[in-house]
Amino acid sequence: MALSAASGSMLRVCARQQLPTTSRAAIASCQQQRGVASSFDSPFGPASKESTYKIPDFSKYQSKKSPRSNQVFSYFMAGTMGLASAVGAKATVQDFLVNMSASADVLAQAKVEVGLGAIPEGKNVIIKWRGKPVFIRHRTQDEIDEANKIDVASLRDPQADEERVQDPKWLVMLGVCTHLGCVPIGEAGDFGGWFCPCHGSHYDISGRIRKGPAPLNLEVPSYSFPDDETMIIG
Ligand code: FES
């Protein structure tokens, strides 16, 4: 302690001797004025009498209930609003999807049931399925034999008869010419099948193109036989 006090006083003496006279006078003046208020008082400093911030009084808005009951109310409201939003969103999405889905008449035409008992052997029936004509022919044994005796390799669109039918007695095809979409006439043409009068395409008894500009055989739609007397197209 004695050593540090001595060194401090020596430093002060050296400093006084080194400072010029004017500087020493200024320091003395400052030492005299210490403890007197400055001419500039910062409003943010500790000397400020009033705070520049005024906090409003919210006490009249404060809940008088206990914090626990406030919490329960908050959770209840959040849950209720969430539930209401979820129900609204579900209804909106559901409405949108119902709007986008196929209408009842389209769904009704998606599959068509045909009673086979009403179609005699050797006769054609035309039904409408998805806006297109569908030819159903109840073929005779002679017609089946004729369809099978063709050399498949010689055909423009090579396809064996057995590839085009599920039951040889029943030939099912879209009635749309594969040239430009006309509806061919049944039991007509050079091959005893169908004839398209628009540009002269001839289809045989299996619906295969044999003559004329059409490039492909008549298209076979998807169909099934749920029982011996019924066919479902689609
Ligand atoms: S549309 Fe059938 S032959 Fe042209």
Write out the DSSP string of 193-209: EEEETTTTEEEETTS-E
- Residue 214 CA to ligand 1 centre (angstroms): 6
Taking 70 as the threshold, does the pLDDT of residue 207 lie above it?
yes
Protein residue with least CA distance to atom 1, ligand 1: 180
Calpha distance 112→104 (Å, rounded): 14
- Residue 120 CA to ligand 1 centre (angstroms): 29
pLDDT interval class at 13 (50, 70, 90): very low
Look up the pTM and report it: 0.58
Q: Is the CB of 213 under 6 A from ligand 1?
A: yes
Quote the pLDDT of residue 14: 43
- Per-residue pLDDT tens for 174-187? 999 999 999 999 99
Calpha distance 114→112 (Å, rounded): 6
Q: What angle do CA 230, 233, 113 make, to 5 degrees?
A: 45
* Torsion from C-alpha of 226, 232, 233, 234, nearest 10 degrees: -70
- Residue 52 CA to ligand 1 centre (angstroms): 93
Q: Which atom of ligand 1 is nearest to the CA of 196?
A: 2
Quote the pLDDT of residue 18: 47
pLDDT interval class at 40 (50, 70, 90): low
Residue 138 annotated among the catalytic residues of the structure:
no
Taking 80 as the threshold, does the pLDDT of residue 122 lie above it?
yes
Taking 50 as the threshold, does the pLDDT of residue 30 lie above it?
no
Calpha distance 24→16 (Å, rounded): 7
Query: 126, 175 in Cβ contact below 8 A?
Result: yes
- Residue 79 CA to ligand 1 centre (angstroms): 66
Protein residue with least CA distance to atom 3, ligand 1: 199
Quote the pLDDT of residue 6: 47
Q: Is the CB of 86 under 6 A from ligand 1?
A: no
Q: Is the CB of 197 under 6 A from ligand 1?
A: no
Taking 80 as the threshold, does the pLDDT of residue 7 lie above it?
no
Amino acid identity, position 197: P
Taking 70 as the threshold, does the pLDDT of residue 47 lie above it?
no
Taking 60 as the threshold, does the pLDDT of residue 5 lie above it?
no
Residue of 77 and 105 predicted with greater confidence: 77
- Residue 231 CA to ligand 1 centre (angstroms): 29
Taking 50 as the threshold, does the pLDDT of residue 1 lie above it?
no
Active-site choice (138, 179, 199, 202) = 199
Q: Give the pLDDT mean for 16-45.
A: 51
Helix, strand, coil tally for the chain in percent (to 5): 40, 20, 40
Residue of 50 and 141 predicted with greater confidence: 141
DSSP three-state, residue 49: coil
Q: Is the dihedral of CA 181, 219, 172, 101 positive or negative?
A: negative
Rounded percentage of the chain residues whose pLDDT exceeds 70 = 76
Taking 60 as the threshold, does the pLDDT of residue 12 lie above it?
no
Quote the pLDDT of residue 99: 84
pLDDT interval class at 39 (50, 70, 90): low
DSSP three-state, residue 123: coil
Name the residue of 178, 190, 198, 203 to mutate for ligand 1: max ligand atoms within 8 A of Cβ: 198
